[in-house]
Amino acid sequence: MSPGTNGHADTGPVTRSAAQSRADARSQSDDLASLYPFLYAHPDNVGHDRPGAGDLEAVLAEVRRSTVDKAHQIVALRREVLARDSQRLAACATAMAAAFATGGRLFAIGNGGSCTDAADLASLFLHPGPGRRALPAFALTGDIAVLTALSNDVSFDVVFARQIAAFGRRGDVVVGLSTSGNSTNLVRAFEEASRRGLLTVGLAGYEGGAMAELGSIDHLFVVASDSVHRIQEAQTTIYHTLWELTLDELIST
């Protein structure tokens, strides 16, 4: 990425090899100053051709450092998720593939940012693009008429549980995403789904919250972080991985 009219033309092979060397060096050194010298340019040495430019450069330097920190944080967090859950991801994909193979459908649920992940997850299964098998999936977050009707007439806490009661059959799959793990409407939905014999898959953050306390979610993945953003980023990787492993499982069985 470049500002102005420069497009991205200067982020070619040189940048790729620099990033590769940083990736290679990561285990030997966490010394950001040597890996990212551009982060540590002293503000007094640059940009004094106009008033306030030193201040601007200092803030830009702070923002650059923060950007690099966050990229490194999510790489580290994904490593932790993989170390703890790789076997459980494979087992979950096996169960999901078995559900699809016997006519099951997938329902995805979540609130806020997780609502957009639910929509993305459902769309990924239903419309995965060329060469990949399309599977029956939809998000229970997409129909505003249903959501507002249930919220207005009953309670926001039942928006997903009531839809699962209406649509859900034994052998279907519910995937629910929450960063806190505490969304009441997800907890109610998982309870309803368990009662009806659906396969339940939960993605939570922090320490799992109420979703972990529930004890009944068949496959629960807790991203142990206290950053909502990093949790969401790791959860995106988890559902992408589940999708890919599920499709592979359907091909190989």
Partner 1 sequence: MSRAAAGTATAAELFERRVLPLYQLADDAAAIATACHAMAVRFHLGGTLVVFGNGTASTDAQHVVVEFVHPVVMGKRALPAISLTADVATVTGIAGAEGFDEIFAHQLSHLASGRDIALGISADGNCTSVLHGLAAARELGMLTIALVGGDGGRVASLEAADHIVVAHSDDPRVIKEVHVTAYHVLWELVHVFFQHPDLLEARAVA
* Residue with smaller CB distance to partner 1, 68 or 165: 68
SS3 64: helix
Q: Does 241 help bind partner 1 (rule: CB under 8 A)?
A: yes
**Minimum distance from CB of 153 to partner 1 (Å)?**
22
Q: Which of residues 144-203 bind partner 1 (CB under 8 A)?
A: 179
Residue among 30, 86, 134, 195 that touches partner 1 (CB under 8 A): 86
Residue 220: which H helix or E strand, with range?
Answer: strand 219-223
Q: In angstroms, what is the minimal distance from the CB of 178 to partner 1?
A: 13
Minimum distance of partner 1 from residue 240's CB (angstroms) = 4
Q: Which of residues 16-35 bind partner 1 (CB under 8 A)?
A: 16, 18-20, 22-23
Q: Using the rule CB under 8 A, which residue among 43, 46, 64, 94 binds partner 1?
A: 64
Contact status: 84 vs partner 1 (CB under 8 A): no
Q: Is 11 helix (H, G, I), strand (E, B) or coil?
A: coil
- What single-letter amino acid sits at 35? L
Q: If you write DSSP's letter for every residue of 135-204 in order, what string do you get? A: --EEETTS-HHHHHHHHHHT-GGGHHHHHHHHH--TT-EEEEE-SSS--HHHHHHHHHHHHTT-EEEEEE
Nearer to partner 1, 1 or 166 (CB): 1
By beta-carbon proximity to partner 1, the closer residue of 184 and 237 is 237
Amino acid at 197: G
Choose which of 34, 42, 75, 207 interacts with partner 1 (CB under 8 A).
75
What CA–CA distance (Å, rounded) separates 221 from 214?
13
Closer residue to partner 1, CB minimum distance, 183 or 192: 183
Candidates 118, 81, 89, 94; CA nearest to 246 is 94
Total residues in contact with partner 1, by rule CB under 8 A = 71
> How many Å apart are CA 83 and CA 87, to the nearest integer?
9
Quote the least distance from Cβ 22 to partner 1, whole Å: 5
For partner 1, the closer CB: 51 or 215: 51
| Min CB(171)–partner 1 separation in Å | 24
- Tell me: does residue 42 bind partner 1 (CB under 8 A): no
Q: Which of 211, 196, 187, 204 is nearest to 238 (CA)?
A: 204
Output phi, psi for 219, to 5 deg. -135, 105
10 Å CB burial of residue 225 (0-12, 13-18, 19+) is: buried
* 95 near partner 1, judged by CB under 8 A: no
Residue 78 touches partner 1, criterion: CB under 8 A:
yes
